[in-house]
Amino acid sequence: MAPSNKPLILVTTDFTEISDYAIEHAAVMAKGVNGSLLILHVIDKYTKRLLKKAGKPLSHVDEKLQLIADGIQESHGIEVNTISRQGDLFHQIADTANQNGALLHFLGTRGKRGVQWLIGSFALKVVKRSPVPVVVIQKPLGNINYRRFIYPLDIDTGSKQKVKWAKTMHDAIGAHFDIFVDNYGDDYTNRKLRADLNQVTGILAQHNVSFTATFANTKGSFAAQLLAFAQEKNADAIMISSDPDKMTWNPFNMEDKVLYNKEKIPVMFINAKNLNLVIGGR
């Protein structure tokens, strides 16, 4: 499938319930951006083992994908395509996103245990190789429509620079951003952070992006306050950035609880190589 000017949302499935959740989320995003949905399954050793046990050929994968696609197309009224690829899971996801010009990649994960696996051995590889942001899903769609994002802002460089994706999501789906600013309790750091905030809000205002800005308290962890703020705002997702070249098993300065939050708020995970835009007002 060749890239087109129409926005494309990629979602990876392993045919589990949590993957079904991710597909529904991705379909809503695809419809919201007036784009199409591409459902990917990577045929690995596990898939082949299940097919062999069930006495099914490899073509059974494409049949299952098409059944899912037909249902999504009927229920959401969007263009849905499918693709199955054999090989290394991480390479195939990245290559599919790149070759098809995906805007975002949606991925389901199974709660804390699943996310620990995701962070430790899966997301590190996916995000480091991903040409697009990865949206991690843990729960059914519900009323989520991806019009309201939480934008955490701290002193990390990527935190400021992800304004690129705030502008992108506003242009694509009309998203609003509630900026939640860390509070370090010392004047020097907070002055720097206020300067960063002014730069971010200046760029957002320049591009007519709707936003608010709220400061955290000095007491309590930023991550815990961030999640409470996200609940208060009834946020659809939290936008996180990190430098993949500096990742350990826990890439988040705001603690791993942000990703596997008990509220299961979707997290848009952006790596630093996709952040070089518009800082400075360009």
Residue 124 lies in a domain: no
Does 240 fall in a domain? yes
pLDDT of 63 over the 60 cut: yes
In a domain, residue 113? The reply is: no
Cβ-defined contacts of 206-211 (< 8 Å, 24+): 206/281, 207/167, 207/170, 207/171, 207/278, 208/170, 209/166, 209/167, 209/170, 209/175, 209/176, 209/177, 210/170, 210/176, 210/177, 211/151, 211/166, 211/176, 211/177, 211/178, 211/179
Please indicate, yes or no, whether residues 103 and 156 belong to a single structural domain of this protein: no
**Residue that has been written with the tokens 């200046």 in this structure:** 202
Q: Is the pLDDT of residue 280 over 50?
A: no
Mean pLDDT of the chain: 86
Domain assignment of residue 169, given as a range: 148-274
In this structure, the answer to whether residues 13 and 99 fall within a common structural domain is: yes
Domain boundary among the residues 108, 140, 166 is at 108
Residues 96, 152, single domain; the answer is no
- How would residue 255 be classed by pLDDT, with cut points 50, 70 and 90? very low
* pLDDT tens, residue by residue, 111-166: 555 444 444 456 556 767 788 999 989 899 999 999 999 999 998 877 887 999 99
The structural domain count of the chain equals 2
Do residue 78 and residue 167 come from a single domain? no
pLDDT score of 104: 96
Tokens linked to 84 = 């199955």
Regarding predicted confidence, which is higher, 87 or 110? 87
Shared domain check, 63 and 181: no
Residue 131 confidence (pLDDT): 86
Asked whether residue 246 falls in the same domain as residue 163, the answer is yes
Contact 268, 172 (CB under 8 A): no
190 and 269 fall within a common domain: yes
The domain boundary, picked from 57, 85, 108, lies at 108
Task: Find the mean pLDDT for residues 71-79.
Answer: 97
Lookup: tokens for 231: 């609940």
Confidence check: pLDDT of 46 > 70: yes
> Which residues, other chains included, contact 99 with Cβ-Cβ below 8 Å and sequence gap of 6+?
1, 3
**199 lies in some domain:** yes
Q: pTM of the full predicted structure?
A: 0.88
How do residues 204-252 score in pLDDT, each as one tens digit? 999 999 999 999 998 888 888 999 999 999 999 999 886 666 554 444 4
Does residue 182 lie in a domain region? yes
